[in-house]
Structure 1
């Protein structure tokens, strides 16, 4: 303690023998030494060798990068990890390094130290990077790629059209080019985390005879304790709850089916290809599951449709009392994701049976998980010219 006190006194006393110039020069030299050491350490953590020194990166995303044109190409120009994932300007670089403290903690706790853990977290990790690129307009990409330097005449007509529109808006590259350096997450296996965060998991108690809506695609069962799935309840489907038993609810679904095969697919309405549920072959042939009320011929296709009621069980989670939160989420997603490459058509521009073909043709250009994809398509169908009272 005495030593610390003595040092503090020495530092706090005015200099008796050193000139102001000597002090200034000494401080300047020490500043250079400190800055040089700090910057050297900073740059040491900003190399590809450092990034892939942990097996979480070296055995996963780095191997994927090696398969792409960003790693090996005819020009011999390679994009390394920090080229794409660390901002080049100093201020943002320091901010990104501070964020990396979370990654150090994840390393210490083994958050993604196995391939299985990594894949399970992949969508979350990718979403963070996509959000960062969206926020800064893909600034790292544009350190090498410039709209002004592009040779439009060497592009295909379609590429010219899309890229010129993107250049006019200085659009973020990742809006259309996700998955260009690494594999995309398994979108089909995810459970729409952003949707669930917004609408919640639903009520814990259900009123018999009341209507509810599924907020995810959910398995159907033939009984309250069955383990074998009998089909799927589609997202945003209206059901009537009949009974609650443990963690499951018994429900019925009103709809229509085509008199083709076992009639396993249940549609929202007559002549409208908007899915409400799909049953397995066994479930569709099980007595008491499907009740038929009437049949009707679709003059446009010549097919006979049957108005039906399906009775089945499903898990009690992810059910909502109101449908509007689902439509609000779908509308926002449609407007934000389907306008980055072109001006999206109005919802009532197509009818309910035309929208699926148009919508599925665009799925290669966006990154929707399975439930979000199904929800947005259903939203477009439900707000199409088939149901819209407004003239387009």
Structure 2
């Protein structure tokens, strides 16, 4: 303790021989040395050599990068790890370095030190990066790729159409260009990777008699072995497990259908255009698939509706026990995506049958994959004024 007291007294003692100018100059020089050392150390961690010094980075993402246009191209301009994964803005760079402490922890615990571990974590890691790119409007991409400098006439007609629209709204590049530098995660039938990363790929074991909800739009089949599709099971649809066989499960889909044609479309409830499933004509007419319980007329349209249960097969994956995570994701997506141009109406502002037309007019101005579109629309319909009477 004595040495600490001695140092403290020395630091507090007035200088006998040094002038104020000497002290100021010394402090200035020490500041330069400290800042230079800090910045040098910071830049050393900002090199590709530093990134791939970790075996799990060198053996997987670095090898994948070498197979892409970002590694070798006709212009000879190559992107390195920090070019894409470290923000160029100084304040964001420091924040990113602080976030990287999570990576150090992962390295210590050897979270992705094998191919198997890496693949198991690939979707989670990719989703985190996509979210960061989206948060920064893909600024890392735009440091090299500038909409204003693009040569439209050298693009295909389809590319021109997509890119010009993206330029008009300064769209985040990663919205469309996932997998441009690394392999995409194994997402099965997923076209909504961020959604699946959040809600999961389904229950590990399904119980006969249990009720589940579809986390993605899924194909339907006539039986447990055929590859011939019998229709489509919509996202966020409630099903009851009737039988399991290998990788497939026979489910019961309760709902209503219009007595028109083959009655292929199953709706959530009487008189509501909330889609649960669309069967093929052959499946809708197949004996034993559709069971009818009652029939009544819609006073608004004069159409006859039938309450039915379809018993049909689908894959076991992407069936979840809890619907709430799907609604939470849909609510957040609706809130963030649909408030870009204006304040979006509340869920209960329209009824269930009005929302599809209103929502389809909105999505022309945002970027959503088909599963996300279907989920958000269904969320809005099932939380509309038809079910929530508090708004009107």
Shorter-chain TM-score: what band?
A: 0.5 to 0.7
Relative to structure 1, the CA distance from residue 329 to residue 60 in structure 2 (aligned partners, 3 Å threshold; closer, same or farther) is same
- Preserved contact between residue 71 and residue 78 of structure 2 (Cα < 8 Å): yes
| Residue 214 of structure 1 pairs with residue 216 of structure 2 | no
Relative to structure 1, the CA distance from residue 332 to residue 187 in structure 2 (aligned partners, 3 Å threshold; closer, same or farther) is farther
| Residue 36 of structure 1 pairs with residue 36 of structure 2 | yes
How many angstroms apart in 1 are the aligned matches of 2:328 and 2:212?
Answer: 9
**Aligned match of 1:99:** 99
- Preserved contact between residue 238 and residue 253 of structure 1 (Cα < 8 Å): yes
- Preserved contact between residue 84 and residue 140 of structure 2 (Cα < 8 Å): yes
- Preserved contact between residue 127 and residue 194 of structure 2 (Cα < 8 Å): no
- Preserved contact between residue 233 and residue 276 of structure 2 (Cα < 8 Å): no
How many angstroms apart in 2 are the aligned matches of 1:234 and 1:166?
Answer: 29
- Preserved contact between residue 334 and residue 376 of structure 1 (Cα < 8 Å): no
How many angstroms apart in 2 are the aligned matches of 1:321 and 1:92?
Answer: 36
- Preserved contact between residue 274 and residue 378 of structure 1 (Cα < 8 Å): no
Map 1:327-338; keep pairs closer than 5 Å: 328=330, 332=334
**Aligned match of 2:51:** 51
Deviations 1:25-65 (A, max 9, x none): 11111111111111111111000000011111111111111
Larger relative contact order (CA 8 Å, sep ≥ 6): 1
- Preserved contact between residue 213 and residue 320 of structure 1 (Cα < 8 Å): yes
**Aligned match of 1:318:** 320
**Aligned match of 2:266:** 268
How many angstroms apart in 2 are the aligned matches of 1:74 and 1:251?
Answer: 53
Q: CA deviation at 1:158?
A: 2.1
* Range that drifts further, 95-104 or 2-11: 2-11
Deviations 1:272-310 (A, max 9, x none): x964799xxxxxx9xxx868669xxxxxxxxxxxx7653
How many angstroms apart in 1 are the aligned matches of 2:328 and 2:226?
Answer: 25
What SS is found at the alignment partner of 1:310?
strand
How many angstroms apart in 1 are the aligned matches of 2:92 and 2:324?
Answer: 43
Q: Kindly report the root-mean-square deviation, in angstroms, between the aligned alpha carbons of the 2 structures.
A: 5.2
Q: CA deviation at 1:230?
A: 11
What SS is found at the alignment partner of 1:187?
coil
- Preserved contact between residue 252 and residue 310 of structure 2 (Cα < 8 Å): yes
What SS is found at the alignment partner of 2:188?
helix
How many angstroms apart in 2 are the aligned matches of 1:229 and 1:333?
Answer: 42
- Preserved contact between residue 64 and residue 181 of structure 2 (Cα < 8 Å): yes
How many angstroms apart in 2 are the aligned matches of 1:76 and 1:321?
Answer: 49
| Residue 166 of structure 1 pairs with residue 169 of structure 2 | no
Q: CA deviation at 1:323?
A: 12
What SS is found at the alignment partner of 1:110?
coil
Q: CA deviation at 1:216?
A: 3.6
Q: CA deviation at 1:156?
A: 2.0
How many angstroms apart in 1 are the aligned matches of 2:183 and 2:139?
Answer: 21
How many angstroms apart in 2 are the aligned matches of 1:323 and 1:131?
Answer: 18
Deviations 1:210-231 (A, max 9, x none): x965244799xxxxxxxx9999
- Preserved contact between residue 218 and residue 234 of structure 1 (Cα < 8 Å): yes
Q: CA deviation at 1:194?
A: 4.3
Q: CA deviation at 1:141?
A: 1.1
Map 1:192-203; keep pairs closer than 5 Å: 194=195
With structure 1 as the length reference, what TM-score do the two structures score?
Answer: 0.62
Map 1:1-392; keep pairs closer than 5 Å: 1-188=1-188, 194=195, 214-216=213-215, 235-239=235-239, 252-254=252-254, 268=266, 275=277, 310=311, 318-319=320-321, 325=327, 328=330, 332=334, 347-348=356-357, 376-377=373-374
What SS is found at the alignment partner of 1:79?
coil
- Preserved contact between residue 237 and residue 276 of structure 1 (Cα < 8 Å): no
Any unmatched runs of 5+ in structure 2?
219-223, 243-248, 258-263, 268-274, 281-285, 294-307, 342-354, 361-366, 387-392
Q: CA deviation at 1:109?
A: 0.6
Deviations 1:131-169 (A, max 9, x none): 111111111111111112112222222222222222222
**Aligned match of 1:262:** none
How many angstroms apart in 2 are the aligned matches of 1:66 and 1:82?
Answer: 15
How many angstroms apart in 2 are the aligned matches of 1:323 and 1:39?
Answer: 43
Count of aligned pairs between the two proteins: 312
